[in-house]
Structure 1
């Protein structure tokens, strides 16, 4: 009997692994699991509504890459304009660092620097089309064009010395229509460009990624935004969102426009507010998501998972005092 058990033990592990993978797939893709076992939808429903926009308000979206502005805040941006606010978008990078994306877009097995730069310009065009879908005119959009995946380097070791992006081999802004063509890839130049945008827009409200966002470009931009707005004595004008919020978030994957966007696991203690979207706003958000064809051809279910019944916005970058959780705990 002992020998029989030992012989079947490898098969048991295989069965357990297969069952585990099936359970994970169901959790990621099926809305039924959330309805039966997860009460996060109830928590979202209990969140306070975000403060309404007002006529004449100047709203600036700081987006690390083309598509972040749409995934997090397409409904918000539509609501702001419907209220008579003036919306502007500034993209920090052209999203030119994804080699698999370039391989498909450029139809090559080994994308080189020129292919990666071509991808960057393609994504610039997608960003402007998505902004137009959301009603943001081209004259209120700003493409800065710094290196995708390189913002932390610019913020730290390459603040004054130019950084050479490993995939594009560029060390200066090259994308068509950039705010400052030829600007060196340094933190100094990036801060100068963001400051130019702030001076032009004079925003009453700035939408930026939260420090808890997992993507390095995202939380680095959060630090930069907090630093620059604090210097202006306007840190209270920042509000925060998350796109990379934890393991497989948001779930379920795919288009489930009737479901709530739940609180991201990496930022559960932020003082979130809820922005409910109309059917029309969700339709326009989906159209803007699909304007990013370079992304939806690779990860359509991730992209479309952000088209939900609501969006989330926090007026603070850290948990409220007295929450019992240290900043690092997020």
Structure 2
């Protein structure tokens, strides 16, 4: 495109938004009121055409008033605008994050309702909840099998790139009335008059007959594909704020895999390819010495570097070889028989970037048997005292900065055929803490190899090497840390003893209560049997009395007596 010193108005003015083109719109509002401040006119025009939009309010809105009140205000505003479906997700106000969970939830909602356009706040809005909502929406659309158009609307600030306008003159009064339904917000500041002023300004390019307009940045993804996103990603603006524009702006993560030829290597690598974090490298160290990778490696979407030293390697040797070939800012190990759940790496990177001065992050791990059933879960936050006496981190649950290796000299001890990861985490713990990221996203598959190492006769039995690791570190750690760990364990034992004593006391009380209940039940059963016996005798006596009475009624003497009584009554009436 030639560079010009000027362009004409028709080339720069926003165009009319083709609202009639869409029939299943979905709008994301970070807070109760954003949907009305940003798109009330558009929602009302859709309602007039018989198109019912769906609005998702992400947060409870309690930072600016009672959540229940603000939800009621949103519902009242929806009624003014002709009605649309409202869903409240109750996320914490001012804590919306672009997490894999939110991305997947948005994607599932858009797909479930077959949306043809998704409306969200602009990426450059000042409120962090608005920014996270917009970014999560972008990521969620990437996950969909079919493209859905995207529109940015203006709520907290004017759009930087307003590409389209909606003439809302005919429904301007409805919008003002709907905005005034948010009484809790009008007390903070006069939002309705200020948004109305923005809408009035937006009409400046539409002629005197238009009194108000809403601005949008429409990205026609369904027609133009992902290239339509480019106008929304202002590189200078985003870089000034420290936001990534392309995957290469994000920290590279090296996924380090040691393999002995386990056929499940393909599944392990597939779980890496399923991650939504885009900036990854996969390094596979052939610990069995095989020089060439399997043929299927070339078909993978991620580049895999196959490292072979042309000889067999024990576990720590293979780990060190992987570290030497890693180029990422962060590293994470994955054994060839284990897997990551989707979103595993993304949340760990986010945690490290959010914690200044911390260079390792860990998350929860699910241990499953060969049938896929959970047998154990590692879900405790990091405690330095516990790490001294036992390994608390499955190797693929921790993401760590490569600077711990390059600058601090952390390496795997090649004298340890097992528990080498425990020793490595102890090294790491002398330079940094570990931030805990809740949620289980690492899967450890308990298999025959794990069972073999639990055999006391096996050369690699953990108890044998546990003693060696502890002897090494008891001689290296400061006495204060060892003393603190011992005191902590003593305290934990005291707590366990107290809990045990309490549980035993509760058990005795319940056994006593059970015994009393059983005795009372036995007495009640005896009383019931006695009462049933008495009832049986009473019923028999009653039956005998009924039989006797029937015999009397049927006897000749009773009939004569009845006749005499009737005659006596007649004679008595005749004498009178």
TM class by smaller structure = 0.5 to 0.7
How big is the shift at 1:233? 4.0
| Aligned-partner Cα distance in 1 for 2:25–2:31 | 18
| Aligned-partner Cα distance in 1 for 2:139–2:238 | 17
How big is the shift at 1:242? 2.2
Q: Which has the larger radius of gyration?
A: 2
Matched-pair contact (CA < 8 Å) for 2:118–2:148:
no
| SS across alignment from 1:136 | coil
How well do the aligned residues superpose, as a CA RMSD in angstroms?
A: 3.0
Matches within 5 A, 1:157-172: 159=99
Corresponding position: 1:244 with 2:210: no
Equivalent position to 2:23, from 57, 65, 85: 57
Matched-pair contact (CA < 8 Å) for 1:144–1:193:
no
Partner of 2:82: 135
The structure-2 alpha-carbon separation of the partners of 1:311 and 1:329, relative to structure 1 and needing over 3 Å to count, comes to farther
| Aligned-partner Cα distance in 1 for 2:187–2:214 | 24
Partner of 2:435: none
How big is the shift at 1:287? 0.9
Matched-pair contact (CA < 8 Å) for 1:67–1:127:
yes
Partner of 2:171: 281
Partner of 1:172: none
Q: Which has the higher contact order (CA 8 A, sep 6+)?
A: 1
How big is the shift at 1:52? 3.0
Matched-pair contact (CA < 8 Å) for 1:272–1:315:
yes
Matched-pair contact (CA < 8 Å) for 2:115–2:148:
no
Corresponding position: 1:312 with 2:194: no
Matches within 5 A, 1:141-156: 141-152=86-97, 155=98
| Aligned-partner Cα distance in 2 for 1:322–1:194 | 20
Corresponding position: 1:206 with 2:118: yes
Matches within 5 A, 1:13-32: none
How big is the shift at 1:194? 3.0
| SS across alignment from 1:71 | helix
| Aligned-partner Cα distance in 1 for 2:187–2:235 | 42
How big is the shift at 1:324? 9.1
The structure-2 alpha-carbon separation of the partners of 1:144 and 1:122, relative to structure 1 and needing over 3 Å to count, comes to same
Gaps (5+ residues) in structure 1?
Answer: 1-41, 103-118, 160-186, 246-263
Matched-pair contact (CA < 8 Å) for 1:61–1:208:
yes
Matched-pair contact (CA < 8 Å) for 1:319–1:325:
no
Matches within 5 A, 1:187-202: 188=101, 190-191=102-103, 193-202=105-114
Q: Give the number of aligned pairs.
A: 211
| SS across alignment from 1:213 | coil
How big is the shift at 1:84? 3.1
Corresponding position: 1:89 with 2:1: no
Matched-pair contact (CA < 8 Å) for 1:64–1:93:
yes
| SS across alignment from 1:81 | helix
Given the two structures, how large is their TM-score scaled by the length of structure 2?
Answer: 0.34
The structure-2 alpha-carbon separation of the partners of 1:324 and 1:147, relative to structure 1 and needing over 3 Å to count, comes to closer
The structure-2 alpha-carbon separation of the partners of 1:83 and 1:215, relative to structure 1 and needing over 3 Å to count, comes to same
How big is the shift at 1:274? 1.1
Matches within 5 A, 1:257-272: 264=158, 267-268=159-160, 270-272=161-163
Matches within 5 A, 1:292-307: 292-300=182-190, 302-307=191-196
| Aligned-partner Cα distance in 1 for 2:109–2:230 | 29
Corresponding position: 1:80 with 2:46: yes
Q: Deviations over 1:140-164 (max 9, x none)?
A: 2111110010003xx3xxx5xxxxx
Partner of 1:290: 180
How big is the shift at 1:315? 1.5
Matches within 5 A, 1:101-112: 102=65
Matched-pair contact (CA < 8 Å) for 1:211–1:218:
yes
| SS across alignment from 1:145 | strand
The structure-2 alpha-carbon separation of the partners of 1:289 and 1:271, relative to structure 1 and needing over 3 Å to count, comes to closer
Partner of 1:30: none
Matched-pair contact (CA < 8 Å) for 1:88–1:136:
no
Matched-pair contact (CA < 8 Å) for 2:81–2:175:
yes
Gaps (5+ residues) in structure 2?
Answer: 1-8, 200-211, 220-227, 242-576
How big is the shift at 1:238? 1.1
| SS across alignment from 2:139 | helix
| SS across alignment from 2:62 | coil
Q: Deviations over 1:16-41 (max 9, x none)?
A: xxxxxxxxxxxxxxxxxxxxxxxxxx
**Structure with more strand by fraction:** 2
Matched-pair contact (CA < 8 Å) for 2:151–2:218:
yes
